[in-house]
Amino acid sequence: MDLAHSAADEAFRAEARAWLRAHVPVDPLPSLETEEGFAAHRAWEAELAVDRWSVVNWPAAYGGRDATLVRWLLFEEEYYAAGAPGRVNQNGVSLLAPTLFDHGTEEQRARVLPPMATGEVVWAQAWSEPEAGSDLASLRSRATRVAGGWLLSGQKTWSSRAAFADRAFGLFRSDPGAPKPHQGLTYLMFDLRASGVTVRPIARLDGRPAIAELFLDEVFVPDEDVIGEPGQGWRIAMSTAGNERGLMLRSPGRFLASADRLHRLWQDRGSPESARNSVADALIGARAYQLFTFAAASRFLDGESIGPESSLNKVFWSEYDIALHETALDLLGAEGELADTEWAERYVFSLAGPIYAGTNEIQRDIIAERLLGLPKGRR
């Protein structure tokens, strides 16, 4: 048992730190949820990519550095500690790319990944539909077979980043006659600017268009944009969903940086005693999450897979994140209600945590049933 990083890993960390110190913009970029801010964040991705810092854990062939999971964690610590911008292509990098590595073809990887790494193509996810929230098996959007490809029709919603993104990926019902609802689904990528696609941005609580609704009317998708076998989409998506809930959706570096920011805010406000325990708990929670992740990464390096344990992770970080930002707003007192502050924007972002990527209610059911062995309820 050992928490010390190897000299080579520390050298990697130092290189990242130095690069970030030299490159991170002094003034924060405009909000990711505006057209201007989106473009600025896309340019930042390109800047990262020039020195191969945008996707450190990918193979060098696609723009990465073949970084191990540990190095990715160290990079993330440095990235957030440096106050670097939010990642506009997180959907692509953390959800689609792992799927392509596991289930895509070499041709797909070569075509899709490099422009993802540079931010040239920014991806939106298209999982949910109006009537299918936690119950993903009830998807109704269709993919109909035509010569050389498929026609997509239907409606997707809560598509994050879709307001300004280029392409999207999701599941479509290709075999409505399949015996069970989660059979007969196909995993496809499609162009958000293709004929037949209507993107309707949806403002989140603070009015920023962080999400969108997609209306698809016979949108043609060539066969080359099907991932894996048609009809196998559910299985493929579940492996992505496992990843989504797993290690890479929220890196500890993000929360270590948030906790430090909160601690500074507390000190700037005169270290009020009434917030003392909440601030201490934020610091402790960030450390707990960091170490929990190191343990999971160590198991992963030992060849173990990360299964329902990822539900523990999801509940923890999402509720931690809200508690931290509630403490911050409380420290701000009456100014806490101002919407145009970084704290407010982060608070609103945190509120989505317990809802998406599998609601925390679903996650607690999974913990109870799969980790504790309690009987399946009727839900």
Partner 1 sequence: MRFLLDPEQRAFGDSLNAMLAVADTPSVIRDWSRGEHARGRALWSRVAEAGVFALAVPEAYEGMGPRPVELAVAFIELGRHAVPGPLVETVAAAVLLADLPDPGPAKRLLPALATGEAMATLAWKAPYALDGDVAGTRLAVTSQGLHLSPGHGPVRPSLDAARRLTPLEPGGELLGPAPARALAYARLTTAAQALGVGQALLDKTVAHVLRRTQFGVSIGSFQAVKHRLADVRIGLEFARPLLFGAALTMAPADVAAAKVTACEAAYAAARTALQLHGAIGYTAEYDLSLWLTKARALRTAWGDPDACRADVLGAPTLSGDRRW
Q: Which residues are catalytic?
A: 244
Structure tokens at 15: 């290189």
Smallest distance from partner 1 to CB 67, Å: 14
What is the token pair recorded at 120?
């040239």
To partner 1, the closest distance from the beta carbon of 162 in angstroms equals 13
The C-alpha atoms of residue 205 and residue 103 are separated, in whole angstroms, by 36
Only segment of 120-128, 202-210, 268-276, 343-351 that touches a copy of itself (CB under 8 A): 268-276
**Which amino acid type is present at position 294?**
F
**Which one of a copy of itself, partner 1, none is in contact with 180 (Cβ closer than 5 to 8 A by kind)?**
none
The item of a copy of itself, partner 1, none sharing an interface with residue 225, based on CB under 5 to 8 Å by kind, is none
> Which of a copy of itself, partner 1, none interacts with 305 (beta carbon under 5 to 8 A by kind)?
none
Q: Which 3 state secondary structure label does DSSP give 299?
A: helix
What is the x/- site pattern for partner 1, positions 199-238, by CB under 8 A?
---xxxxxx---x---------------------------
Ramachandran class of 140: left when φ > 0, alpha when ψ lies in -120 to 50, beta otherwise: alpha
* Per-residue contact string for residues 78-97; x = within reach of a copy of itself by CB under 8 A: --------------------
**Residue whose C-alpha is closest to residue 259's, from 235, 232, 280:** 280
State which H helix or E strand residue 155 sits in. strand 149-160
DSSP helix/strand/coil, 350:
helix
295's contact among a copy of itself, partner 1, none, with CB below 5 to 8 A by partner kind, is partner 1
Structure tokens at 156: 């997707």
- Considering only 35, 194, 277, 291, the residue that binds a copy of itself (CB under 8 A) is 277
Q: How far is the CB of 331 from partner 1 (least distance, A)?
A: 10
Q: Does 270 bind a copy of itself (CB under 8 A)?
A: no
Q: Which of 21, 145, 276, 299 binds a copy of itself (CB under 8 A)?
A: 276
Looking at the Cβ atoms of 113 and 279, the one nearer to a copy of itself is 279
CA distance 196 to 176: 22
308, 367 in Cβ contact below 8 A?
yes
Min dist. Cβ of residue 210 to a copy of itself (A)? 32
From 180, 274, 305, 375, residue interacting with a copy of itself (rule: CB under 8 A):
274
Q: Is 182 in the site for partner 1 (CB under 8 A)?
A: no
The greatest distance separating any two alpha carbons of the chain, rounded to the nearest whole angstrom, comes to 69
- Look at residue 316 and give its three-state secondary structure: helix
Residues 6+ apart with CB under 8 A from 157: 128, 129, 130, 202, 211, 213, 214
373/375 with CB nearer a copy of itself = 375
The nearer residue to partner 1, 1 or 147, going by C-beta atoms, is 1
Say how many residues touch a copy of itself, by CB under 8 A. 5
Quickly tell me which residue has 């190191």 as its tokens.
294
- 15 alpha carbon, distance to own chain's centre: 25
Binding mask 283-312 for partner 1 (x = CB under 8 A): xxxxxxxxxx-xx-xxx-xx------x--x
The structure tokens listed for 376 are 């399946």
195 binds a copy of itself (CB under 8 A): no
Kindly determine how many residues on this chain lie close enough to bind partner 1 according to the rule CB under 8 A: 92
What does the alpha-carbon distance between residue 4 and residue 230 come to, in Å, rounded to a whole number?
46
How many whole angstroms separate alpha carbon 173 and alpha carbon 143?
6
Which string of x and - marks every residue 292-311 that binds a copy of itself (by CB under 8 A)? --------------------
- The three-class DSSP label of residue 185 is strand
Contacts with a copy of itself, residue ranges (CB under 8 A): 273-274, 276-277, 378
